[in-house]
Structure 1
Amino acid sequence: MEIDPVCGMHVDPTRARYKTLYKGKVYYFCSAVCKEEFEKRPDFYLQHGPQGMPHR
């Protein structure tokens, strides 16, 4: 299992619908919202860790 870097949820990489490649590493997400949030500020989430579900 992988950890969604935005919300902290466990994500099965074999079933993940949302993923992105950043600096040579694949990151997996529980939702399109988390993926979009990560893509806006990837370095923030990689430095500070998951912050919970983003609000829209």
Structure 2
Amino acid sequence: MCRRRCAIERDPVCGMQVDPEQAAGKRVYEGRMYYFCSPACLAKFDRAPAQYAGEQGSRDGAEET
């Protein structure tokens, strides 16, 4: 659980909400950080990052507070 003030991100593979502090994994792709709910979603992203990066990519809401 996010104890400090933080943004909830969206897993780009399945669309599930992910607390960055509890993410099963994370990757930087084209300068942007993506967070994953499970190792399975992370593996799918690793196989084809361009397929997932633009559509449901994590939202950078942390700066908007």
TM-score (norm 1): 0.76
Aligned-residue sequence identity (percent) comes to 46
Among candidates 34, 39, 44, match of residue 51 of structure 2 = 44
Looking at structure 1, the residues matched to 31 and 13 of structure 2 have their Cα atoms a distance apart, in angstroms, of: 18
Q: CA deviation at 1:16?
A: 1.3
Of residues 27-36 and 38-47 in structure 1, the stretch that sits farther from structure 2 once superposed is 38-47
Count of aligned residue pairs for this structure pair? 50
Computed over aligned residues only, the root mean square deviation of the Cα atoms, in angstroms, reads: 1.6
Change (3 A) 1:43 1:14: same
Moved over 4 A (4+): none
The gaps in structure 2 that reach 5 residues or longer are 1-7, 58-65
The gaps in structure 1 that reach 5 residues or longer are 51-56
